[in-house]
Chain A
Amino acid sequence: MKNFLRKKLDVIRKPFEKGQKWERFAPAINAFDTLLFVPNHTTKKGAHIRDSVDLKRTMITVVLALLPALIYGIYNAGHQYFIQQSIEFTFIDAFLHGLWKVLPMIVVSYGVGLAIEFAFAIYRGHEVNEGYLVTGLLIPMIMPIDIPLWMVAVSVAFAVVIGKEAFGGTGMNIFNPALIARAFAFFAYPTYMSGNEVWVSEAANIDSVSGETILAVLASGGEVSYSIMDMFLGAIPGSIAETSTLFIILGAIILILTGVGSWRIMLSGVLGASLIGFLFNLWGANELMQFNWVNHLIVGGFAFGIVFMATDPVSGAQTNVGKWVYGFLIGVFCILIRVFNPAYPEGVMLAILLMNVFAPTIDHYVVNSNINKRKKRWATA
């Protein structure tokens, strides 16, 4: 089987080899080839043996960590749709309804994003990087369920071209590309991205929907009708995969155990949000300030953001000390924006994008302390 596949592939890729007519398109065929087979390349210089880890392995682990939240998100899409109409439904009904809405978004996201990534790889003559495997799944997961597909496509294109390739491609981007897509949709189509109709599937076609997110309800001074258990398990309106703290924690455990996601960022983020949330509870000047600090951690996109977005190694802080500061400030700013800015009931997206900008500065100071230690030693030598 393996040999048969290999032989077939070798035949298919012949026209893409050096000096052949489709040589330019080699990155495209290489991307498929390396997805099927780890190449037979051996070490040419440097260490003669290499670790089994590579970027594909790392990225696919993030995708695996995302799956629990995604599957619940798909179910919750159907769940919200049926309970709003008070229709009897089974788990399968809800899941299938969700799948019918979410799957096209995932297909569009991967289709448009990968097409652009392949085009840039061919144009620049380098291999296709695996980073988009994660970004492409993250983007639909943080969108509202009723966003039109063309809006997903435009957001993806903006995120990949302006958010990533304009900075030089994978490893060079300043902002988390998935959040760029979300921010683009949020600011370009504000009417679609807020209110009480986009968070519930087909809400525009149903009469009298109460599909506002909890944070939006609070921001307008309303009463929250969901229990803490609902908020933790995720049976609430919201972006597709952000609602279930339980399944996000499951993903976080996968990321921490495999060492792929930084536990420092996650922990310090939770600490930062808890601290500021607690202080606001003591102050208690408006509805959002009175909202229990524990509840702040389990509603909205905070949990999803701190586990899957803030831990992006490229746009986040790179030093260990820097990761503590970076995560902590994301937590603090997330709650600050929620509480003080009623125009943006959800603060985590803006908090992470803001800290993406400051991550290099944080690292700069951390690395500089190492440099200063060395310079002090030079001076006394």
Chain B
Amino acid sequence: MNSFHFKKGYNLKIKGSANKVLLPSSSSTYAICPDDFFALTPKLVVKEGDKVKVGQTIFYNKQDERIKFASPVSGSITSILRGEKRKVLKIVITDDGKNTAIDNELPNVSKASVEDIKKSILDSGCWGFIKQRPYGIIASPDDTPKAIYISTYSNSPLNVDFDFILKKNQQEFQKGIDVLSKLTKGKVYLGVEKNFKSSYFRDLDNVEIYEVKGLYPSENLSFHIEKISPINKDSEKVWTINPEDVVNIGHLFTTGKYIAQRTVAVAGPNVKNPSYCTAKIGADVKGIIESISFDCDTSTLRFISGNVYTGNKVCREEGHVNFYHNTLTVIPEGNDYRLLGWLPFVGNKIPSASRLSLAKLLTKKTINTNLNGEERALVVTGEMEKVFPMNIYVMQLIKACLSNDIDKMEELGIYEVVPEDFGIIDFVNTSKIEAQEIIKQGIELMIKEVG
């Protein structure tokens, strides 16, 4: 068995990880935001007021009409929010509680052709779960990937425990893996935490298990893929999928129904009873936190769908959890001034990967969203490479993206990374540059120019 130990990175422990209890969600609205899908243009097939069933198509990908996105619940379309140039921001569905679902035709997994399996996934609305590398966009159904990667290893702050989340879905998880293994000419890889004993993951079939341990951001698949079989040119594809979405696909091939299951961990230092919540994809924040209590006024808190490095901000009142995320992180905002707070060894409770603060020696941390400075020119060197466990010159790649130099981006390894890998770079860099944003724009340029 392959086993990887990533020594570069930075581990931050935040108080308030979710306890292993499942609470029900009482969300009444669900939303799909096209922005959750990188570089996708939606084409709507519903309008406000329409009645929809679970699994009914709401919109499809304008570039590839076979890729459809389905409603997670039955009910009616309450609103379609649009932004500038009438860009669709959000399609909100109000749950009628009846859970009437579309029955999809079920091929026999062991006998069906690859084309039939792909068609079932596409028609059911499950294709959106499958992402491809390079670029981290939704996979093209025309490709045959050289491998498919799933990882249950999670070491971001307030990380979720996939062993716990998937415990009740072991059969569906196996079924999903069986389905996926049909789609690749290579193997399906499953990352597990090293030395994790009790896990049933090790008894799964049709899958190659590998072990991971190390510092954040080693939970990200880019780093595992580089170790196992690095991505070369853009013509070579590998696919990635989140563990719980393997369950969703497994469920589809067991019952013929799209269930849109999403277990969301609500966690954070101000959460009194951090716990897991059984919800559905796109559930509203209001419903998820209904049985959660906080030790302060929630208006002073930031709600983040995802983790503190790569997640997106959501509104407490009207927000919905991101299509792919398993966490709802809650941290205090940090809009305070700090008198002379820039002096070395001042503010040691603020997490820091640098040696200009004693934060690494102290366990007590104050987490908030303050930028702790202002954006400046790139001056300090070497700090980015220290936390990036991959053979890539991070600063040079960022500079290539900033100067729109496609050749350099290609040569420096843009195919091997996705923006989320750079969340830690956002955090550590002295000049407060937005590395994720820069890489994202770089990849968008690659998609436009190279395709």
Q: Do A and B come from one complex?
A: yes
> When the two chains form their complex, are residues B308 and A38 in contact, meaning their CB atoms are under 8 A apart?
no
> When the two chains form their complex, are residues A381 and B393 in contact, meaning their CB atoms are under 8 A apart?
no
Question: Among B230, B337, B354, which residue has its beta carbon within 8 angstroms of that of A40?
Answer: B337
Q: How far is the CA of A86 from the CA of B230 in the complex (A)?
A: 73
Q: How far is the CA of A57 from the CA of B357 in the complex (A)?
A: 9
B49 interface contact, C-beta 8 A: no
Q: Which of A48, A129, A375 has the most CB of B within 10 A?
A: A48
For residue A380, which residue of chain B has the nearest CB?
A: B232
Q: Which of A36, A41, A171, A262 has the most CB of B within 10 A?
A: A41
B39 interface contact, C-beta 8 A: no
> When the two chains form their complex, are residues B370 and A50 in contact, meaning their CB atoms are under 8 A apart?
yes
Question: Among B338, B344, B371, B423, which residue has its beta carbon within 8 angstroms of that of A37?
Answer: B338
Q: Binding site of B, secondary structure by majority: helix, strand, loop or mixed?
A: loop
Contact partners of A342 in chain B: CB under 8 A:
none
For residues 5 through 48 of chain A, which have their beta carbon under 8 Å from a beta carbon of chain B?
Answer: 5-6, 34-43, 45-48
Q: How far is the CA of A48 from the CA of B335 in the complex (A)?
A: 13
Contact partners of B163 in chain A: CB under 8 A:
none
For residue A378, which residue of chain B has the nearest CB?
A: B232
> When the two chains form their complex, are residues A54 and B373 in contact, meaning their CB atoms are under 8 A apart?
yes
> When the two chains form their complex, are residues B371 and A41 in contact, meaning their CB atoms are under 8 A apart?
yes
Q: Which of A43, A47, A60, A131 has the most CB of B within 10 A?
A: A47
Q: Which of B101-109, B185-193, B248-256, B380-388 contacts A (4 or more CB under 8 A)?
A: B380-388
Q: How far is the CA of A53 from the CA of B341 in the complex (A)?
A: 10
Q: How far is the CA of A378 from the CA of B415 in the complex (A)?
A: 12
Interface residues in B, total, Cβ within 8 A: 75
B241 interface contact, C-beta 8 A: no
Question: Among A38, A46, A323, which residue has its beta carbon within 8 angstroms of that of B338?
Answer: A38
> When the two chains form their complex, are residues B396 and A367 in contact, meaning their CB atoms are under 8 A apart?
yes
A180 CB, nearest partner CB in chain B, Å: 17
Q: How far is the CA of A43 from the CA of B310 in the complex (A)?
A: 12
For residue B377, which residue of chain A has the nearest CB?
A: A171
> When the two chains form their complex, are residues A260 and B371 in contact, meaning their CB atoms are under 8 A apart?
no
> When the two chains form their complex, are residues B430 and A381 in contact, meaning their CB atoms are under 8 A apart?
no
A148 interface contact, C-beta 8 A: no
B436 interface contact, C-beta 8 A: yes
A245-277 CB mask vs B (1 if < 8 Å, else 0) is: 000000000000111101000000000000000
Q: How far is the CA of A52 from the CA of B358 in the complex (A)?
A: 10
Q: Which of B30-38, B67-75, B194-202, B345-353 contacts A (4 or more CB under 8 A)?
A: B345-353
Q: How far is the CA of A294 from the CA of B436 in the complex (A)?
A: 48
> When the two chains form their complex, are residues B393 and A370 in contact, meaning their CB atoms are under 8 A apart?
yes
For residues 290 through 311 of chain B, which have their beta carbon under 8 Å from a beta carbon of chain A?
Answer: 302, 304, 308-311
> When the two chains form their complex, are residues B374 and A41 in contact, meaning their CB atoms are under 8 A apart?
yes
Contact partners of A370 in chain B: CB under 8 A:
391-393, 412
- From known contacts A50-B426, A50-B432, infer whether A57 and B385 are also in contact, taking CB-CB under 8 Å: no
A290 interface contact, C-beta 8 A: no
Q: How far is the CA of A373 from the CA of B431 in the complex (A)?
A: 30
> When the two chains form their complex, are residues B342 and A39 in contact, meaning their CB atoms are under 8 A apart?
no
> When the two chains form their complex, are residues B372 and A54 in contact, meaning their CB atoms are under 8 A apart?
yes
Question: Among B340, B351, B423, which residue has its beta carbon within 8 angstroms of that of A52?
Answer: B351
Q: How far is the CA of A206 from the CA of B198 in the complex (A)?
A: 86
> When the two chains form their complex, are residues B342 and A56 in contact, meaning their CB atoms are under 8 A apart?
yes
> When the two chains form their complex, are residues B370 and A40 in contact, meaning their CB atoms are under 8 A apart?
yes
For residues 219 through 244 of chain A, which have their beta carbon under 8 Å from a beta carbon of chain B?
Answer: none
- From known contacts A49-B351, A260-B356, infer whether A320 and B372 are also in contact, taking CB-CB under 8 Å: no
> When the two chains form their complex, are residues A52 and B379 in contact, meaning their CB atoms are under 8 A apart?
no
For residue A371, which residue of chain B has the nearest CB?
A: B411
B445 interface contact, C-beta 8 A: no
> When the two chains form their complex, are residues B341 and A42 in contact, meaning their CB atoms are under 8 A apart?
no
- From known contacts A48-B313, A131-B379, infer whether A53 and B354 are also in contact, taking CB-CB under 8 Å: yes
- From known contacts A50-B432, A371-B411, infer whether A38 and B342 are also in contact, taking CB-CB under 8 Å: yes
Q: How far is the CA of A321 from the CA of B385 in the complex (A)?
A: 12
Contact partners of A377 in chain B: CB under 8 A:
230, 232
Contact partners of A381 in chain B: CB under 8 A:
232-233, 236
Q: How far is the CA of A313 from the CA of B430 in the complex (A)?
A: 12
Contact partners of A374 in chain B: CB under 8 A:
411-413
B177 interface contact, C-beta 8 A: no
A183 interface contact, C-beta 8 A: no
Contact partners of B339 in chain A: CB under 8 A:
2, 5, 36-37
Contact partners of B432 in chain A: CB under 8 A:
50, 54
A340-381 CB mask vs B (1 if < 8 Å, else 0) is: 000000000000000000000000000100110111011001
- From known contacts A38-B341, A45-B437, infer whether A171 and B378 are also in contact, taking CB-CB under 8 Å: yes
A50-90 CB mask vs B (1 if < 8 Å, else 0) is: 11111111101100100000000000000000000000000
A292 interface contact, C-beta 8 A: no
Question: Among A2, A51, A258, A320, which residue has its beta carbon within 8 angstroms of that of B344?
Answer: A258
B223 interface contact, C-beta 8 A: no
> When the two chains form their complex, are residues A42 and B370 in contact, meaning their CB atoms are under 8 A apart?
yes
A20 CB, nearest partner CB in chain B, Å: 20
> When the two chains form their complex, are residues B342 and A57 in contact, meaning their CB atoms are under 8 A apart?
yes
Contact partners of B26 in chain A: CB under 8 A:
none
* Sampled A-B contacts (30; CB under 8 Å): A35-B342, A38-B338, A38-B347, A42-B334, A42-B335, A43-B371, A47-B426, A47-B436, A49-B427, A50-B432, A51-B350, A51-B351, A51-B353, A51-B429, A53-B354, A53-B356, A54-B342, A54-B373, A54-B430, A55-B430, A55-B431, A58-B379, A127-B376, A131-B379, A169-B377, A171-B378, A373-B391, A374-B411, A374-B413, A378-B232
- The 5 A-B residue pairs with the shortest CB-CB distance in the complex, in nearest-first order: A54-B373, A171-B377, A47-B426, A38-B341, A52-B350
